[in-house]
Amino acid sequence: MGNSQGRYPPGHRKFRPHHPPPFTTDPSPPPYLYPTQPPLAPSRPPSQQHQPYQMANPHTPLSLPYSNVDCSLRALAGQAEGFGRLAIGGLQGPVYHVTTLSDDGPGSLREACRKKEPLWIVFEISGTIHLSSYLSVSSYKTIDGRGQRIKLTGKGLRLKECEHVIICNLEFEGGRGHDVDGIQIKPNSKHIWIDRCSLRDYDDGLIDITRGSTDITISRCHFSQHDKTMLIGADPSHTDDRCIRVTIHHCFFDGTRQRHPRVRFGKVHLYNNYTRNWGIYAVCASVESKIFSQCNIYEAGQKKVAFMHYTEKAADKDETATGIIISEGDLFVNDTQPGLKPLLSEESLFHPSEHYPTWTVEPPSDSLKHILRHCTGWQSLACIPDNPVAS
């Protein structure tokens, strides 16, 4: 659960792979400042490196993404960083007001999500919605929990063959049953953004992204009290998952056991996440996956190895294969061992700049850790006014 008073401080710094990032000072800087520390060496040899980022001045205020998305209701649309940056949700539709905590019926969340037209869904009440079955979300929907406190329990959300969905500021807890995930994204869904959600204690995964679903960003979420946290790529037989592309940033994996994430086939960019006290591993690269881990904080408990590589055989290949993890600027603390494997060839590399030009990144530090501990997951926010979209 996020700190009820947590808000990301103002300021916005973009990572530009071919130029040093600009460092700006807000006129009212927050108290989160970098400690003095030397730059961390990227794990790749110089011949394989893109233009490195610059570490911030130790007296520059922390600059984090999305400082302006709460200025009006629809300011979220199209503002995600990373692979989900095109997600607009229900930007072009009317506001739908959820007025009941009932599982179905007039004024319910389920009724809104099944409608075919674009909708920006907000809540008039706070409380728990007990789902008796998966709640299917259709295309061009924003489920916006800002201004209230909504918890989903029993089952989860299913994003099936849909596009342009934004899920913001919700809690997910206590999902029960076989194959019950908090948020299940499959098959063939795209342009998804999950932001500021708290997820814990489901019988299967907290977020699963499989079967050809792609162009997804997960940001500022808090994961806790769980085993198999996040699966990306179903199994070695689903070779269509080679299209998967996911960005995960500014998230807090808080003592969850494994899969932060586990990846098959897809490309995943991890940056400015804090993962601590895992039970098996932090991040796992399975068959043909490519993971770029950048400026994250890995803090081990009893299990010291952060990165694992599992070998599997794709259904359309004769030989087994594992995945690739590139670590650049990551911070490994409390005797954490990276567990990296040597890269075999430059052809196998993946860099986010091949897919999007800018993103917000900070050097890993105690200040960043503090922010991620207290300002991820559901947040207590005031109701946000709706400024109509200009025609």
Distance, in Å, from the CA atom of 201 to the CA atom of 309, rounded to the nearest integer, reads: 26
Whether 259 is a known active-site residue: answer yes
Q: Which amino acid is at 212?
A: G
Distance, in Å, from the CA atom of 233 to the CA atom of 221, rounded to the nearest integer, reads: 20
Q: Token pair for residue 30? A: 């927050």
Cis peptide before 52 (omega within 30 of 0): no
Q: How far apart are the first and last CA of the chain?
A: 38
Distance, in Å, from the CA atom of 118 to the CA atom of 94, rounded to the nearest integer, reads: 7
Phi, psi of 83 (to 5 degrees): -65, -25
Identify the active-site residue in 146, 149, 220, 259.
259
Which 3-state string (H, E, C) describes the chain? CCCCCCCCCCCCCCECCCCCCCCCCCCCCCCCECCCCCCCCCCCCHHHCCCCCCCCCCCCECCCCCCCCCCCHHHHCCCCCHHHCCCCCCCCCCEEEECCCCCCCCCCHHHHHHCCCCEEEEECCCEEEECCCCEECCCCEEEECCCCCEEEEECCEEECCCEEEEEECCEEEEECCCCCCCEEECCCCEEEEEECCEEEEECCCCEEECCCCEEEEEECCEEECCCECEEECCCCCCHHHHHCEEEEECCEEECCCECCCEECCCEEEEECCEEECCCCCCEEECCCCEEEEECCEEECCCCCECEEECCECCCCCCCCECCEEEEECCEEECCCECCCCCCCCHHHCCCHHHCCCCECCCCCCHHHHHHHHHCCCCCCCCCCCCCCCCC
- CA diameter of the chain: 60
Q: Looking at the annotation, which residues are catalytic?
A: 259
